[in-house]
Structure 1
């Protein structure tokens, strides 16, 4: 049976950094389709929901710490709708790719995953690098453009084109995912 892992990347963001303003503007419109897609993933037995989030250099930070920091940050309204449910996997990361320095590859293998559905932020950084790492590990890739946020719109669009062309990613709106 085919299995999909929906990976939500870096959405627990306190929005206290140099690129926060353009990212905030890009995140706002992706929240409704992303929250709806998370709900759809949770309702399916063949989809595993996995959150992977930057630990911002705090290697003692727990899932609860990262959630609390994000909710206590500059834009809790951009965090509250997509807080990770207690029953889903949560992996802290330290660099751009959701695979780098995390047990994601091992987890996907244990789950029998064949497709990685990437959502979150930042399209031209963490989503792109995670897609490349998924591709070189022979996973099929899906990226709903209405569920990823870019700091620089032009670079985000270029990253989506690269994922589609160079990594055979299926770039389709959230309504076309998990149908």
Structure 2
């Protein structure tokens, strides 16, 4: 079977599964409903996301930003980044901005897989393990972890690199991902890249 045709776990040519770091919805102007509740958690998560990005880039691990397009169907990722950097919370975006090697996928709904080319991209890259960071723990990260799990991808969630609106729901989401989706809950320092 050709590696690009596989729908189960994908392996690199040496037999080891490749990892990708996926940054979810962190390119944001934070001008949406409930943003005031998200901002404190986002501020706490950004340093851990930065550490993950540094580790991934040092190891040549693919970094994929998957970001909501906020209904702006004519915009591309460069415009989304410029808008976020021009906004009042640019300090949350600047440290984690994509570099020239980063890949970018635009989504319209909660899951990073829903009607996006992400699964195909991961199979082309030989990825069988994803590290999910970003926001929101109790929504987009949770639904993305479920969709990764049903696609037979290994999932790791660095709990210090995800942001949430509701503490209790975020805690429950992390427990659900660990128990129901076999996700590894780690920190940014201990997540396998």
Q: 1:44 aligns with which of 59, 64, 68?
A: 59
Q: Specify every segment of 5 or more residues in structure 1 that has no aligned partner in the other structure, as ranges.
A: none
Give the aligned partner of residue 39 of structure 2: 24
Q: Paired residue for 1:6?
A: 21
- Counterpart residue number, 2:95: 81
Query: Does the 8 A contact of 1:41 with 1:178 survive in 2?
Result: no
Shift of 1:30: 1.1
In structure 2, C-alpha distance between the alignment counterparts of 1:74 and 1:153, rounded to whole Å = 24
In structure 2, the partner of 1:72 is 86
Gapped regions of structure 2 (runs ≥ 5): 1-15
> Residues 42-121 of structure 1: matches in 2 within 5 Å?
42-45=57-60, 47-121=61-135
1:40 and 1:178 in contact (8 A); partners too: no
Q: CA RMSD in A?
A: 1.0
Give the one of 176, 183, 190 matched to 1:162. Answer: 176
Stretches (4+) displaced over 4 A:
none
In structure 1, distance between residues paired with 2:53 and 2:111: 20
Structure whose alpha-carbon radius of gyration is higher: 2
**Residue matched to 2:6:** none
Q: Deviations over 1:98-138 (max 9, x none)?
A: 00121000000101111010000000000000000000000
String of CA shifts for 1:22-71, please: whole Å, max 9, x gaps: 111110011111101101101113x2110000001111111111101111
TM-score normalised by length of structure 2: 0.90
The whole-number CA distance in structure 2 between the counterparts of 1:37 and 1:124 is 20
User: Which residue in 1 is equivalent to 2:151?
Assistant: 137
Q: How many residues align?
A: 178
SS in 2 for 1:162: helix
Which SS does the other structure have where 1:159 is aligned? helix
SS at match of 2:145: helix
Following the alignment from structure 2 to structure 1, what is the Cα–Cα distance between the partners of residues 94 and 167?
A: 24
Does the residue aligned with 2:33 lie in a helix, a strand or coil? Answer: coil
What is the rounded CA distance, in whole Å, between the counterparts of 1:73 and 1:99 in structure 2?
Answer: 28
